Amino acid sequence: MPNNMESRSLLYPVIYDLNFSYKIWQTSNEGFSKYNSKSDICSVDMFIDTLRIISGLLLFNAISSYVFTGTSTWGYKGKWTNTEYLYHRLRGSPLRKYTIESLEASLHSTRYLLSINKQVFDVTAGGDTYNPHKKLKSKYSTFVGRDCTRMFINGCFHDMEQCTWDLRNIGFDNEWVEKTVDHWVRFYENHPRYWKVGYLEADSPNEEPKQCLSGVRYPGQ
């Protein structure tokens, strides 16, 4: 049997090989970690440089626009410069369900809402045209907080009984009525400053509205 000295001598090569393998693994691991760290630093630097370039271009664009047009948006004043609209789009353009009561509540808020054919639009950007809080109100302010589709058709803006979505007994050709309603819906849908925010859920009244054939084409006429 080998004595203790011989046993130790036999183990030395094995221990040496294990130490050598561990050192190689440790060196490789450290090199890989350093490579990852450098890669991360480069990625951060590239991201910061990209932000600087984009910010510089936006600043240059705004300054150029102000020099030539007096505005920072090249004279554009549509809904894409409206923070409320941008927030609405960022949320996925959700359409809220309105009742008659919740729609009327907009009469007491800073957002002006109107409904046409039970489709609700934000017309706040219309300013004084729709402002229901002015002492000298515009005729268009009648539409805020209500659905006055019938008025848009027969032009009876002086008769508040005609301010309803109910088109029964309106006294005009059905095909013409449908085209006129579609025209007004598309007017608000495609307007550069107004946008759709929901729909009105309401049933037609039990009693048909009275006919009015003495309307005008536009409010205030």
Range of the domain at 104: 79-200
Global pTM reads: 0.66
Q: Is 34 helix (H, G, I), strand (E, B) or coil?
A: helix
Q: Specify whether 64 is located in the same domain as 89.
A: no
**CB 146, CB 193: distance < 8 Å:** no
pLDDT tens-digit readout, 50-108: 878 887 877 766 677 656 666 655 565 678 777 887 888 888 888 999 999 999 998 88
Mean pLDDT score, 2-14:
46
Q: Specify whether 49 is located in the same domain as 104.
A: no
Q: Specify whether 105 is located in the same domain as 166.
A: yes
Question: DSSP secondary structure string, 41-76?
Answer: HHHHHHHHHHHHHHHHHHHHHHHHHHHHHSSTTTT-
pLDDT tens-digit readout, 144-190: 999 999 999 999 998 999 999 999 999 999 999 999 999 999 999 99
Integer Rg of the chain from CA: 35
Q: Which residue has the higher pLDDT, 32 or 86?
A: 86
Residue 18 has pLDDT above 50, yes or no: no
Q: Specify whether 67 is located in the same domain as 156.
A: no
Q: Which residue has the higher pLDDT, 143 or 11?
A: 143
Residue 31: inside a domain:
no
- As beta bridge partners, residue 116 has 119
Mean pLDDT score, 3-11:
46
Q: Specify whether 119 is located in the same domain as 166.
A: yes
Number of domain units in the chain? 2
Q: Specify whether 89 is located in the same domain as 46.
A: no
Q: Specify whether 191 is located in the same domain as 84.
A: yes
CATH number at residue 94: 3.10.120.10
